[in-house]
């Protein structure tokens, strides 16, 4: 049962959520982590895992046809139980954000509103992502609100850099999710959404004007993006799932750019560690 839960939650990608949360905190202006940060990390982890559970629950019918090995169609766990666990984790995530914000600030209203927006986007994506042309945008909003929730949980007035980074990540996720939606197709309906993947490079180059570490992390991210794209662009190597999981891991490299851009180079290597850990875990637990 434990392995089934790990598979349902696609926990191999969890380190990217952790680096998102840390980046959101640092960009907001939190320079000394306090007792609220571990609670926030748990809350964002539950939001992610709960969303993954609901993804399988809502997709159980189509998975029975296209991916019968998934936990629900294979009979390893009931659809009802997955729904209950998924929604339970989203509710717990919001509750933990409120506790974390109360400890850090004494006022949880803005953090709670952001956490509610995050969980609402997660629910909306899972309910309405099939045949939905704006589903990549909704998925991007899910990641965007991780940064915003982190900022408003720890500070009354987070730096505007939080919003900037959240929008850059939103752009990256739009391109990534568009690619993921083509997993069972022979070709893309259009190529232009993939251009969103380049937005982080522009941000990194702008922020690296006076920061060599940020430039190096930007180049590393760019190199990994090119590596990932070869599984889409080179016919002999075409492997959409491989491209997708590689780019998911690359989210943590994007966080390294954010963190180093505000002078925390040592902490940026924690994000690089999350990238490496994600790749390692993906060898054992499917990331999609």
For residue 287, being part of any structural domain is answered with no
For residue 202, being part of any structural domain is answered with yes
Q: How far is CA 234 from CA 178, 201, 227, 240, in A?
A: 18, 22, 11, 11
Which pLDDT value is given to residue 138? 93
DSSP 3-state helix, strand, coil percentages of the chain (rounded to 5)?
75, 0, 25
Which pLDDT value is given to residue 106? 82
* 3 state SS of 72: coil
Domain hosting residue 50, numbered range: 2-282
- The number of angstroms, rounded, from the C-alpha of 138 to the middle of its chain's C-alpha atoms is 12
CA angle 136, 137, 141 (to 5 degrees): 115
Total-model pTM: 0.93
The span from the CA of 288 to the CA of 279, in Å, is 13
- Largest distance between two CA atoms of the chain: 57
For residue 118, being part of any structural domain is answered with yes
For residue 222, being part of any structural domain is answered with yes
pLDDT in tens, the chain (288 residues): 778 888 888 999 999 999 999 999 999 988 767 788 899 999 999 999 999 999 999 988 888 887 888 888 888 899 999 999 999 999 999 999 999 999 888 888 999 999 999 999 999 999 988 778 888 899 999 999 999 999 999 988 888 899 999 999 999 999 998 888 776 555 555 677 788 999 999 999 999 988 899 999 999 999 999 999 999 888 877 888 899 999 999 999 999 999 999 999 999 999 999 999 999 999 998 877
The span from the CA of 179 to the CA of 43, in Å, is 28
For residue 126, being part of any structural domain is answered with yes
The span from the CA of 94 to the CA of 47, in Å, is 8
Which pLDDT value is given to residue 122? 97
Task: Let me know: does 210 contact 164? Beta carbons within 8 Å.
Answer: no
Please tell me the total count of domains within the chain.
Answer: 1
Which residues have CB under 8 Å from 257's CB, separation 6+?
A: 200, 203, 204, 207, 214, 217, 218, 221, 268
């Amino acid at each position: 049962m434990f392995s089934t839960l790990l598979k349902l939650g696609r926990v191999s990608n969890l380190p990217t959520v952790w680096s998102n949360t840390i980046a959101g905190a640092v960009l907001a202006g939190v320079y000394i982590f306090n007792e609220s940060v571990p609670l926030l990390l748990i809350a964002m982890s539950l939001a992610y895992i709960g969303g993954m559970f609901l993804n399988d629950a809502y997709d159980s019918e189509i998975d029975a046809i296209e991916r019968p090995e998934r936990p629900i169609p294979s009979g390893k766990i009931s659809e009802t139980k997955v729904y209950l666990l998924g929604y339970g984790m989203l509710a717990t995530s919001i509750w933990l954000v409120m506790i974390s914000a109360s400890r850090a600030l004494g006022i949880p209203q803005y953090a709670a509103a952001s956490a509610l927006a995050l969980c609402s986007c997660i629910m909306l994506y899972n309910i309405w992502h099939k045949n939905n042309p704006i589903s990549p945008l909704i998925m991007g909003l899910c990641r965007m609100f991780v940064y915003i929730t982190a900022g408003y949980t720890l500070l009354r007035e987070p730096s505007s850099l939080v919003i900037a980074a959240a929008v850059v990540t939103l752009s990256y996720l739009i391109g990534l999710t568009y690619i993921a939606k083509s997993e069972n197709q022979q070709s893309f309906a259009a190529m232009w959404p993939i251009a969103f993947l380049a937005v982080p490079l522009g941000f990194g180059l702008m922020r690296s004007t006076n920061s060599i570490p940020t430039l190096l992390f930007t180049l590393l991210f760019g190199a990994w993006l090119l590596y990932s794209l070869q599984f889409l662009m080179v016919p002999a190597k075409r492997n959409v799932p491989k491209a997708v999981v590689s780019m998911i891991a690359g989210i943590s490299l994007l966080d390294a750019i954010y963190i180093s851009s505000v002078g925390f180079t040592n902490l940026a290597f924690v994000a690089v560690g999350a990238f490496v850990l994600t790749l390692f875990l993906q060898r054992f637990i499917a990331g999609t």
